[in-house]
Every structure is written in structure tokens, then in C-alpha cells.
Amino acid sequence: MTVSPQNLTLKPDDAAPASLLNVGVLALQGAFLEHANMLRRVGAAPIEVRLPADLTGLDGLIIPGGESTTIGKLAVQYGLVEPLHAFVTGGKPVWGTCAGLIFLAKDIGPTPSGGHVIPRRLAVMDIKVDRNAFGRQVDSFEADLRPTFAAAGAPFRAVFIRAPKIETVGPGVAVLATLNDGTVVAARQGNLLVTSFHPELTNDVRFHRYFLEMIQSAAQTPPAK
Amino acid sequence: MTTQNGSGNNKNGQESGTWRVKVGLAQMLKGGVIMDVVTPEQAKIAEDAGACAVMALERVPADIRADGGVARMSDPGMIVRIMEAVSIPVMAKARIGHFVEAQILEAIGVDYVDESEVLTPADEAYHINKHNFKIPFVCGCRNLGEALRRIGEGAAMIRTKGEAGTGDVVEAVRHARTVLGDIRRLTTMPDEELMTYAKEIGAPYDLVKETKELGRLPVVNFAAGGVATPADAALMMQLGVDGVFVGSGIFKSGNPAQRAKAIVEAVTHYNNPEILAEVSKNLGEPMVGINVSSLPREEMLAERGW
């Protein structure tokens, strides 16, 4: 029996040479090491972000999956919300996976009965999201996707864990991937990328490479003030 | 719902209950604190404090220890009320080997089952075949062999056992050091020694080999059993675990809300002594501890499990 490696570790031969691109990974809680391992594999230098000062000098940022309430509360307590907001509005690329998607979405609908709201989110991307809409863990699933930027290649095996559902997208938002029933699961609006699934739990680097290309092209254009 | 097949296809080309989604949820809990709660009110306090999940149970380990008698799965009605009260994942405990308790917990839709030595074992020889379930399991261990036996049976997450309900971190440290030390030694072993090592520790050979290649357990590994302070939690993180379970340590203390929040912050900033100092201030009374070295061996919960 072999247990799949889940990208819990980085094999030494996967490590790419250090690059000029410093990509932050918000490391308050959740699957931040998995993202860091993927970033190394695509040739970027991951930086763990726990405090506002850690944002200095970053070219882009990933807000990982984890528990959105936990990440949201820690971001408020350690004064990260305003600096993160400035980072996004300054034009730096930011990618939210799962909990990170909730953190970026403008609209997460009404508070579920008894549930708790995330105290303050960035609320910058023009999407409406329903948290945990795919159900509890028993409903977590894998599915094959055909991302628009890799339509000709092999399907992307996506892992959805108690995932949020993107219900509607605004006019400026490009859909990058859908489930068979048309549900939007990956989208981009300018410097913002969101996925309701977890590319960092697979060995498929295509989404990380796509994000790195977003960072590279943003670095070549002056920041929008 | 069948419990005879772990994973299965459902509508829309989606496959649920796979190994990857089972381990994946544990990966989302990393760097977080999972708190024992006995009421919906406590669950909300835990969620407010930033817990990444809660463990729903009728009595915390300190009370199970004090009350004696047989400790069983909690009332499913109580677990459902806790699931309705919070949006974070909810775990619940089944007795070692009691696969029907696990079937019941799967039927009500808990997010993780803890096959736990804190409850009275239902089987003195065999653990649950966890591959049969769609929901994932976490199991306790004291050493690498025990961890890999549980993973071999289908556990998608491991926690070192410690000694639950004592507030004494010494056993949590012992078990974490043992597991992590076993792995460090394994990584330097030549391949021809692995089969004999697998035999010695009673672990599946393939998992021994995989652990050597990864340099860590192939699933997420939390610490449990005796964590009572932010410093205890950060200690376990610095030793190298992925996150922390806190059982009696929060709701048996003087100020649960503040202590819970402090432990969450200590796990995130486990390498930052200035922040650890700040969050450790003025927390009030910690839980009353039991010195593990004063416990008779037959009262040690960690001895349960095979």
C-alpha cells in the first residue's frame, strides 16, 4: 500500500534555483507549507507572512486554505487587514485558495444561522460566495477540470475540501474553470486569482505557474496607484 | 449511505471519500488548535477564539478520569447541536475498535472521527478498519510503529497521545520526541535495513519506506494530551508537530475564552518569544494538573491501543 504524498514535503530534487520573485504565503493557519513547496517547484522564493512587516518586498501573495474564521481573526489581531488591503489595491497579484477565496470575495452572503462572521475581510473581488456550500467533509470531493489556460492539456485533478461555492461573478471577472454542471471554481479579476479547490494538495503545478506568470507580467508594468 | 466502500463516485464526475480529501482536511487544520467542547456554547467560545475545529464530547478527559466507569461515544443529539452551532469542522470520538459508533458518527455527518484511547476500548485486539468509511479518522500514537499501523488501517491524521486530562505536558513531549526521533533515525537507515526495522516496530513495510522518503509521517501529525498553556502549545510546535489538540486545558481553566485565544495565537507565532510572552500574560488559573509520574500505570490512557 502506498499513501499518496499530498505534497506534505518538498523532495530535494524538486527544489528550483532561487529566483528574483518573492511570493508571500499568509502563514497564520492552514496549508501554507504546501503552497511554499509548490512555489519552490515553479522557481519562486516563498516567504511566510505572519506580521505586517513580512509583506515588505513581496511581488505577490497567496492566501491559503485553512479555517476562514481562524485566519480572519488572526489577521485582525495582528493588524494585517489594512496592509493586505494596500498590497492588493497597489496592484500586486494575490491568489486566494478556498478560505483565501472567502477572504477576497466582496459578498459572502448572509451569516448562516448560528455561524460566525469573519470579522473583517479584504472584500475586493467582485464575486458572491456561499461558504461551505458543497457541504461537510463527507461531501468533499475530487473532480477533473479543464482550465481555460490549459484547455489542450490533461485534465487538472482538483481537490475540494468543505469548499466554498462561487455563486455569481461580476462583469470584470474572467472564469478560468468550471465543474461539469457549470459551477465556477476558478476565476480572475485583474491582479486577483481565486480557486475554491486546492492545487497545493496535488503535484500539478499549472495553477502555481499561472500565478507566477501573473506576477511576472505585473512586475513589468508600473503599479496602478 | 453505505459504509462498505470508502470512496465512491457521485453525480457530476465528482469522487468523494478519497484518500486525498481525507488527508486534505487535516492539511487545512495545520497550524491550528482543535479544542474539546461539551456544549454548543463552549463550541462558540472555541470558534470565537479562533479554533480551527472542535472535538464534541460529553465529558472532557479530566472529568472522564475523575468519574471513572465506562466512557463511550457521546449522544449524537448533542454532537448534532454542536455541528449546528458552529461553521468550523466538528470531530467526535468513537471507542477503539467500535466500528458501529463510527458508523453512527458518519451517519450524522461529523467531519472527522477520533478513534480514541480517552474512551474505554471496545476491542482489546483490533482497531477499526478505517478504509471502510467515507469520513476520515484521526488516531493516537506513542511511537512510529503505532502511527504507521494506524495509517495502515486507514487513519488520515495522527496525533501523539500524551496523557489526556492531566494538564501535564511531559507525555506529549515524550511521544512527540519518540515519533519524530524515530523518523530522524529512519531517514539515515540504508534501504536493506528497512524490512527488519518494519518487523521490529510492527509497521507496514511500504509505509516505513514512504516515511523514510518523505522524512516525515505521510499524514498530518498533531500533538495532544496534556497541553494547558500557550507555552506548552508552542513547545509542541517547536518540537515539530503540525498543530495541537487541547482537551481539558481550556474549559477546566479560570478564563476559557482568553486562554483559548492565547493558545491559538501561540500556535501561529510559536517561534516568536515576544508574542508568546504577550499572550501568556494574565490568563488566570490554568487547569488543576495531575503529575503524570504519580499516576499508576493502569490509569494511563495512553497505554490503550495496540
Banded model confidence at residue B297, pLDDT cuts 50, 70, 90: confident
The pLDDT tens digits for B49-73 are 999 999 999 889 989 988 888 999 9
Nearest to A199 by CA among A75, A37, A72: A37
- Give the amino acid at B202: G
Q: Chain A residues with CB inside 8 Å of B53's CB?
A: 67
In this predicted structure, the answer to whether residue B240 has a pLDDT above a threshold of 90 is yes
> In which element (H, E) is residue A165 found?
strand A165-169
Look at residue A110 in the predicted model and tell me its pLDDT. Answer: 73
Nearest to A65 by CA among B24, B153, B68, B149: B24
Is the distance from CB of A11 to CB of A32 less than 8 angstroms? no
In this predicted structure, the answer to whether residue B257 has a pLDDT above a threshold of 70 is yes
Q: How far B174 CA lies from chain A's nearest CA (Å)?
A: 24
The pLDDT tens digits for B150-204 are 999 999 999 999 999 999 999 999 999 999 999 999 999 999 999 999 999 999 9
Any catalytic annotation for residue B93? yes
Q: What's the rounded Cα separation, in Å, for the pair A59 and B118?
A: 48
Q: Chain B residues with CB inside 8 Å of A97's CB?
A: none
Residue B69: how many other CB atoms lie within 10 Å: 7
A91: left (phi over 0), alpha (psi -120 to 50) or beta: left
- Cβ–Cβ of A8/B206 closer than 8 Å? no
Is the distance from CB of A84 to CB of A55 less than 8 angstroms? yes
- Cβ–Cβ of B27/A201 closer than 8 Å? yes
Share the mean pLDDT of chain B. Answer: 94
Catalytic residue among B22, B93, B130, B252: B93
Q: Chain B residues with CB inside 8 Å of A143's CB?
A: 12-15
Range list of β-strands (E), chain B: 8-9, 15-16, 33-37, 53-56, 90-95, 112-116, 137-141, 157-160, 220-223, 243-246
> In which element (H, E) is residue A88 found?
helix A81-89
The pLDDT tens digits for B211-220 are 999 999 999 9
Set of cell numbers at residue B196 = 527488519
**How many residues are present in chain A?**
225
Q: What's the rounded Cα separation, in Å, for the pair B119 and B71?
A: 5
Q: What's the rounded Cα separation, in Å, for the pair B264 and B272?
A: 13
A151 Cβ under 8 Å from any chain B Cβ: no
Q: How far B293 CA lies from chain A's nearest CA (Å)?
A: 34
ipTM for the predicted complex: 0.92
Is the distance from CB of A214 to CB of A191 less than 8 angstroms? yes
Is the distance from CB of A73 to CB of A99 less than 8 angstroms? no
B257 Cβ under 8 Å from any chain A Cβ: no
Residue B247: how many other CB atoms lie within 10 Å: 29
Is the distance from CB of B73 to CB of B93 less than 8 angstroms? yes
Q: What percent of chain B has pLDDT over 70?
A: 96
Q: What is the mean pLDDT of each run of 10 residues along chain A (225 residues)?
A: 63 54 97 96 95 97 96 95 96 96 90 56 94 90 96 94 95 96 96 97 96 92 57
Nearest to B213 by CA among B185, B189, B187: B187
